[in-house]
């Protein structure tokens, strides 16, 4: 199933008709006949979307919408409210994510559902970060770009909306909007008319903006000529978050548009926060918090993948196992703060020397690993010597809180290569063997006086 949807309507004909439509589109459909049943099912079943029909008995659908939006158990569920256009402002203010008239075209209804589920999937992509939808209380400031068929219409939008929103409105044509994005200066939200200099040009601009890195996460509202529900459907499927009439002829429509802009900007900012949080979690899972290098959890599977690629391509790969010399003495004599400072600086020097020639990780206290794709033993030995020289090239400054001063450090490095034996070996075993041989070579370097590079014996083909 592509999503679970709760249909709430007091008329059996409406429920059955809508259930048949949605079931045919492979949605998992629940139904409710009363406001109390809606509240219970929404809280217990946690559907991906609730559709509130206009014929619920015993409760105003707008009031029910408000109860669902204010209940912590259901506040994160998007609500699609079917009501007459004269209730639009009330419905949006009550927390509806979208509002449609009861006698809506089937294609438009399905497009709206797809759009809401797409937004909900994106917002729920980080586990444990569900948040209640933002209300319309309080001002919101944002960068909004207006692109209309004529400058006069765009300026008219700006004049009307500025009376309701303290946003920074910019009037652009299509070329100017794309040029700004090329300069990494995308708006938070774009309001675009479907028809610009040519029919459908606004929809093409929407698709183009959503394909650009700088603007793909912006929000979009498409202004559609009256009676063109086909264009509304296309706009929603292209990724527009909302549609409005191209002519804002009434104060009610202007106010509703302002509310929709506020909602879209808030959803965009929430999505931005969740993407940033997801990236932080990804980095935390992959990196060592002290040095910023990759950690063991990431490095070992990556080593296996590099070993797999080496076998597939018939190319060598190499591993450098590196260990700081006499690091325990640093901790014992100067304290752990000094030891941490040394580790951070050594990691920086190793990373700078290896650069884009391989992956560098901290795999233990003072242990580092560099994995070098498409690198044979001779090339690895040359790079290892560069790393060793870089680490010992100049003393490391110690923090003032431990007395300051400088400390010279050295590195022992072991090298092992693999991937070109002519045998087909399990990549995990090949990676483990290379790392183990590099570790033994590093220990040999330490036993021979430290601060040197040692190669592991080459693996002999069977």
Which class in CATH covers the domain with range 296-455?
Answer: alpha beta
pLDDT of 364: 92
Tell which wins on pLDDT, 133 or 421: 421
What's the mean pLDDT in 320-343? 94
Reported pTM: 0.70
pLDDT tier for residue 231 given thresholds of 50, 70 and 90? very high
The DSSP-derived string for 205-238 is HHHHHHHSTTTTTSEEEEEE-TT-HHHHHHHHHT
Residue boundaries of the structural domains of the chain: 1-130, 134-270, 296-455
The torsion region of residue 200 among left (phi > 0), alpha (psi -120 to 50) and beta comes to left
What are the CB-based long-range contacts (under 8 Å, 24+) for 226-232? 228/194, 229/105, 229/107, 229/108, 230/107, 231/194, 231/203, 232/108, 232/111
Distance CA 448, CA 378 (A): 21
pLDDT tier for residue 123 given thresholds of 50, 70 and 90? low
pLDDT of 125: 53
Regarding the domain delimited by 1-130, which CATH topology (the fold level of the hierarchy) does it fall under? Rossmann fold (3.40.50)
List Cβ neighbours of 204 (8 Å cut-off, separation of 6 or more). none
Distances (CA, A) of 107 to 114, 125, 234, 237, 309: 11, 27, 10, 11, 47
Judged against a pLDDT cut of 70, whether residue 421 lies above it is answered with: no
pLDDT of 141: 77
Q: Where are the beta strands (DSSP E) in 105-248?
A: 143-147, 168-171, 189-193, 219-224, 242-245
Tell me what the pLDDT averaged over the chain comes to: 89
Phi, psi at 168, each rounded to 5°: -95, 105
Distance CA 60, CA 66 (A): 10
Judged against a pLDDT cut of 90, whether residue 188 lies above it is answered with: yes
Is the Cβ–Cβ distance between 462 and 399 less than 8 Å?
A: no
Tell which wins on pLDDT, 126 or 89: 89
The torsion region of residue 151 among left (phi > 0), alpha (psi -120 to 50) and beta comes to alpha
Interval 261-291: pLDDT, tens: 998 998 899 888 888 888 888 888 899 999 9
pLDDT of 304: 95
Nearest residue to 135 (alpha-carbon basis) of 268, 263, 269: 263
Interval 9-47: pLDDT, tens: 888 888 888 899 889 888 999 998 888 899 999 999 999
Is the Cβ–Cβ distance between 442 and 315 less than 8 Å?
A: no
Which class in CATH covers the domain with range 134-270?
Answer: alpha beta
Distance CA 300, CA 371 (A): 10
pLDDT tier for residue 139 given thresholds of 50, 70 and 90? low
Distance CA 98, CA 46 (A): 18
Interval 209-218: pLDDT, tens: 999 999 999 9
Phi, psi at 413, each rounded to 5°: -130, 135
Distance CA 384, CA 372 (A): 11
Q: What is the DSSP letter of 291?
A: T
pLDDT tier for residue 140 given thresholds of 50, 70 and 90? confident
User: Would the CATH topology of 1-130 be identical to that of 134-270?
Assistant: yes
pLDDT tier for residue 135 given thresholds of 50, 70 and 90? very low
Tell which wins on pLDDT, 52 or 57: 52
Judged against a pLDDT cut of 60, whether residue 128 lies above it is answered with: no
pLDDT tier for residue 131 given thresholds of 50, 70 and 90? very low
Judged against a pLDDT cut of 60, whether residue 410 lies above it is answered with: yes
Tell which wins on pLDDT, 461 or 209: 209
Cα dihedral: 438, 444, 447, 448 (round 10): -120
Judged against a pLDDT cut of 90, whether residue 179 lies above it is answered with: yes
CA 309: distance to chain centroid?
28
pLDDT tier for residue 137 given thresholds of 50, 70 and 90? low
């Amino acid at each position: 199933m592509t999503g679970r949807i709760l249909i709430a309507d007091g008329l059996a004909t409406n429920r059955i008709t809508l259930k048949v439509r949605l079931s045919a589109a492979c949605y998992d459909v629940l139904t409710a006949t009363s406001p109390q049943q809606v509240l219970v099912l929404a809280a217990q079943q946690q559907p991906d979307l609730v559709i509130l029909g206009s014929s619920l008995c015993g409760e105003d659908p707008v009031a029910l919408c408000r109860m669902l939006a204010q209940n912590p158990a259901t506040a994160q569920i998007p609500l699609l409210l079917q009501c007459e256009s004269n209730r639009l402002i009330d419905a949006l203010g009550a927390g509806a994510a979208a509002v449609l008239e009861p006698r809506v075209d089937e294609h438009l209804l399905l497009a709206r559902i797809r759009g809401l589920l797409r937004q909900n999937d994106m917002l729920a992509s980080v586990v444990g970060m569900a948040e209640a939808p933002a209300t319309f209380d309080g001002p919101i400031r944002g960068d909004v770009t207006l692109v209309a068929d004529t400058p006069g219409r765009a300026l008219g939008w700006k004049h009307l909306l500025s009376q309701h929103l303290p946003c920074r409105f910019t009037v652009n044509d299509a070329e100017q909007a794309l040029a700004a994005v090329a300069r990494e200066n995308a708006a938070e939200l774009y309001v675009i008319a479907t028809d610009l200099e040519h029919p459908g040009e606004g929809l093409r601009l929407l698709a183009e903006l959503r394909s650009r890195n700088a603007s793909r996460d912006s929000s979009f509202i498409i202004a559609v000529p009256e009676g063109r529900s086909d264009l509304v459907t296309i706009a929603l499927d292209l990724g527009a978050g909302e549609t409005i009439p191209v002519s804002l002829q009434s104060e009610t429509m202007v106010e509703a548009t302002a509310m929709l802009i506020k909602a879209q900007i808030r959803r965009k900012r929430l999505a931005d926060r969740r993407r940033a949080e997801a990236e932080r979690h990804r980095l935390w899972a992959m990196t060592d918090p002290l040095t910023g290098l990759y950690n063991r959890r990431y490095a070992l599977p990556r080593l296996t993948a590099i070993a797999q690629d080496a076998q597939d391509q018939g190319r060598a790969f190499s591993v450098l196992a590196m260990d700081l010399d006499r690091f325990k003495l640093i901790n014992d004599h100067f304290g752990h703060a000094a030891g941490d400072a040394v580790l951070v600086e050594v990691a920086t020097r190793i990373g700078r020397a290896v650069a884009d020639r391989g992956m560098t990780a901290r795999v233990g206290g003072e242990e580092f690993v560099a994995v070098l794709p498409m690198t044979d033993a001779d090339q690895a030995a040359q790079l290892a010597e560069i790393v060793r020289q870089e680490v010992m090239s100049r003393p490391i400054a110690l923090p003032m809180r431990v007395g300051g001063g400088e400390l010279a450090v050295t590195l022992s490095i072991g090298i092992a290569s693999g991937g070109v034996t002519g045998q087909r070996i399990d990549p995990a075993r090949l990676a483990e063997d290379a790392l183990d041989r590099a570790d033994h070579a590093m220990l040999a370097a330490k036993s021979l006086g430290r601060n040197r590079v040692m190669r592991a014996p080459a693996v002999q083909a069977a």
